[in-house]
Amino acid sequence: MSRAPARAPGAALRGAWGSALRGLRWCARQVDGTDRWEEHLRECAEHGHRPPTRREFERRRADARAGAVSSRCC
């Protein structure tokens, strides 16, 4: 979850600007699914599975979502 990213652009910076930049980067990676993808790679490595390509991974997720659309509210 909240693991420190390997080398964030704001990592070297200290203070408010640095943490704001790191926060922004964290948000972007969360929204973008990059964190989830890397998490999956880590899990695969841990269990000794051969990881899928990112394309396969995202496609599997998208297709699984098709049967479970949740409604949007009014």
Q: Which residues bind another protein (CB under 8 A)?
A: 1-2, 28, 30-34, 36-37, 40, 54-55, 57-74
Q: CA 44, CA 57: separation in Å to the nearest integer?
A: 12
Which residue type sits at 12?
A
Q: Which residue, 13 or 40, has its beta carbon nearer to another protein?
A: 40
For residue 53, the minimal CB distance to another protein (Å) is 8
- Report the run of H or E that residue 2 belongs to, with start and end: none
Q: Which is nearer to another protein, 7 or 53 (CB)?
A: 53
